[in-house]
Chain A
Amino acid sequence: MSPENALLTPADREMLEHTMLVRDRLEEQYHDLEQQSHAAAAGMWVFLATEVMFFGTLFVSLGIYRFLYGEACEAASEKLNWAIGGINTIVLLISSFTMALAVHYARLERRKALTTCLLLTGLFGLCFMGLKAYEYYTDYVENLIPGWRFVSQEWVDQEGLSPDQVPHVKLFLLFYWIMTAFHALHVTIGLCAVAIIAVLARQGRFTRSYYAPVDVLGLYWHFVDLVWIFLLPMLYLLGTHSADSLHL
Chain B
Amino acid sequence: MSGATLQPVPRRTVRLPPVRETYLNVARGVTSWLLTKDHKRIGLLYLVSVTVMFFIGGFAIAIARLNLLTPEGGLVQADTYNRLFTLHGVIMVFFFLVPVVPASLGNFMLPMMIGAKDLAFPRLNLLSWYLYMLGAAWTLYAMLAGGVDTGWTFYTPYSSEASHYNVVATMVGVVIAGFSSLLTGLNFIVTTHWLRAPGMHWFRLPIFVWTLYATSLIFLLAVPVLAMALILVVIERIWQIGIFDPSLGGDPVLFQHLFWFYSHPAVYIMILPGMGVVSEVIPCFARKQLYGYNFVAYSSFGIACLGFLVWGHHMFVAGISLYSALIFSSLSFLVAIPSAVKVFNWTATLYKSSISFQAPMLFALGFVALFTVGGMTGLFLASLGVDMHVHDTYFVIAHFHFIMVGGMVMAYMGGLHYWWPKITGRMYSEWWSRLSAIIIFVGFFLTFLPQFVVGYNGMPRRYHKYVPEFEVWNILSTAGASILSAGYVLPLCYLLLSLRYGKRAGANPWGATGLEWQTASPPPKENFAVTPVVVRPPYQYHLMKAQNEP
Task: Answer yes or no: A and B touching, Cβ < 8 Å.
Answer: yes
Interface residues, chain A, with chain B CB atoms under 8 Å away:
27-30, 35, 38-39, 42-43, 46-47, 49-51, 53-54, 56-58, 61, 64-65, 68-69, 146-147, 167-168, 170-171, 174, 178
A-B contact pairs, 14 of them (CB 8 A): A29-B119, A35-B194, A46-B189, A50-B220, A50-B223, A50-B224, A53-B222, A54-B224, A56-B225, A57-B224, A61-B254, A170-B242, A171-B243, A178-B232
The complex places the Cα of A29 from the Cα of B235 at a distance, in Å, of 42
The complex places the Cα of A39 from the Cα of B124 at a distance, in Å, of 13
* Interfacial chain A residues near B119, Cβ < 8 Å: 29
| B111 smallest CB distance to A (angstroms) | 8
Interface residues of B in 100-134 (CB under 8 A from A): 111, 116-122
A29-B122, A39-B121, A49-B220 given; name 6 further pairs at CB < 8 Å.
A29-B118, A30-B195, A57-B224, A57-B229, A61-B232, A147-B240
Q: Looking at chain A's contact residues, is the secondary structure mostly helix, strand, loop, or mixed?
A: helix
* B182 interface contact, C-beta 8 A: yes
The complex places the Cα of A56 from the Cα of B258 at a distance, in Å, of 11
Identify the interface centre among A39, A56, A57, A65: most chain B CB within 10 Å of its CB.
Answer: A57
* B435 interface contact, C-beta 8 A: no
* B471 interface contact, C-beta 8 A: no
Identify the interface centre among B122, B223, B242, B526: most chain A CB within 10 Å of its CB.
Answer: B242
Asked whether B186 lies within 8 Å of A46 as measured between CB atoms, the reply is: yes
Measured CB to CB, the nearest residue on chain B to A167 is B249
The complex places the Cα of A59 from the Cα of B99 at a distance, in Å, of 29
* B529 interface contact, C-beta 8 A: no
If A46-B186, A64-B254, A171-B249 touch, does A54 touch B228 (CB 8 Å cutoff)?
Answer: yes
* Interfacial chain A residues near B117, Cβ < 8 Å: 28-29
* Interfacial chain A residues near B249, Cβ < 8 Å: 69, 167-168, 170-171
If A51-B224, A167-B249 touch, does A147 touch B195 (CB 8 Å cutoff)?
Answer: no
| A83 smallest CB distance to B (angstroms) | 26
What 5 pairs between A and B have smallest CB-CB spacing?
A: A167-B249, A53-B224, A57-B228, A29-B118, A54-B224
The complex places the Cα of A161 from the Cα of B44 at a distance, in Å, of 60
The complex places the Cα of A28 from the Cα of B116 at a distance, in Å, of 10
| B305 smallest CB distance to A (angstroms) | 15
* Interfacial chain B residues near A61, Cβ < 8 Å: 232, 243, 254, 258
Which of A39, A57, A171 is the one whose CB lies under 8 Å from B258?
A57
Q: Looking at chain B's contact residues, is the secondary structure mostly helix, strand, loop, or mixed?
A: helix
* B193 interface contact, C-beta 8 A: yes
Asked whether B195 lies within 8 Å of A39 as measured between CB atoms, the reply is: yes
Interface residues, chain B, with chain A CB atoms under 8 Å away:
111, 116-122, 182, 186, 189-190, 193-195, 220-225, 227-229, 232, 235, 239-243, 248-251, 254, 258, 526
Asked whether A53 lies within 8 Å of B225 as measured between CB atoms, the reply is: yes
| A43 smallest CB distance to B (angstroms) | 5
* Interfacial chain A residues near B121, Cβ < 8 Å: 39, 43
Asked whether B194 lies within 8 Å of A171 as measured between CB atoms, the reply is: no
Measured CB to CB, the nearest residue on chain B to A28 is B117
Identify the interface centre among A30, A39, A56, A61: most chain B CB within 10 Å of its CB.
Answer: A61
* Interfacial chain A residues near B254, Cβ < 8 Å: 61, 64
* Interfacial chain A residues near B240, Cβ < 8 Å: 147
| A143 smallest CB distance to B (angstroms) | 14
Which of A46, A68, A168 is the one whose CB lies under 8 Å from B220?
A46
Asked whether B241 lies within 8 Å of A171 as measured between CB atoms, the reply is: yes
Identify the interface centre among A29, A47, A56, A65: most chain B CB within 10 Å of its CB.
Answer: A29
* Interfacial chain A residues near B248, Cβ < 8 Å: 167
The complex places the Cα of A28 from the Cα of B120 at a distance, in Å, of 10
| A30 smallest CB distance to B (angstroms) | 8
Which of B118, B182, B241 is the one whose CB lies under 8 Å from A28?
B118
The complex places the Cα of A107 from the Cα of B248 at a distance, in Å, of 54
Asked whether A146 lies within 8 Å of B241 as measured between CB atoms, the reply is: yes
The complex places the Cα of A53 from the Cα of B224 at a distance, in Å, of 6
Asked whether B186 lies within 8 Å of A174 as measured between CB atoms, the reply is: no
If A28-B118, A54-B228, A65-B251 touch, does A178 touch B235 (CB 8 Å cutoff)?
Answer: yes
The complex places the Cα of A61 from the Cα of B227 at a distance, in Å, of 14
Which of A42, A64, A167 is the one whose CB lies under 8 Å from B194?
A42
| B152 smallest CB distance to A (angstroms) | 20
Asked whether A174 lies within 8 Å of B243 as measured between CB atoms, the reply is: yes
* Interfacial chain B residues near A54, Cβ < 8 Å: 224, 227-228
The complex places the Cα of A146 from the Cα of B249 at a distance, in Å, of 13
The complex places the Cα of A167 from the Cα of B116 at a distance, in Å, of 56
Asked whether B258 lies within 8 Å of A42 as measured between CB atoms, the reply is: no
| B531 smallest CB distance to A (angstroms) | 9
The complex places the Cα of A95 from the Cα of B199 at a distance, in Å, of 43
Identify the interface centre among A50, A58, A64, A146: most chain B CB within 10 Å of its CB.
Answer: A50
The complex places the Cα of A137 from the Cα of B119 at a distance, in Å, of 46
If A50-B186, A167-B242, A174-B239 touch, does A28 touch B526 (CB 8 Å cutoff)?
Answer: yes
| B479 smallest CB distance to A (angstroms) | 44
Asked whether A64 lies within 8 Å of B251 as measured between CB atoms, the reply is: yes
If A50-B220, A61-B254, A68-B251 touch, does A42 touch B190 (CB 8 Å cutoff)?
Answer: yes
The complex places the Cα of A146 from the Cα of B241 at a distance, in Å, of 7
Asked whether A43 lies within 8 Å of B190 as measured between CB atoms, the reply is: yes
* Interfacial chain A residues near B194, Cβ < 8 Å: 35, 38-39, 42
Measured CB to CB, the nearest residue on chain A to B526 is A28
| A152 smallest CB distance to B (angstroms) | 12
| B353 smallest CB distance to A (angstroms) | 37
Asked whether B251 lies within 8 Å of A29 as measured between CB atoms, the reply is: no
The complex places the Cα of A27 from the Cα of B526 at a distance, in Å, of 12
Asked whether B186 lies within 8 Å of A57 as measured between CB atoms, the reply is: no
* Interfacial chain B residues near A28, Cβ < 8 Å: 117-118, 526
Asked whether B235 lies within 8 Å of A171 as measured between CB atoms, the reply is: no
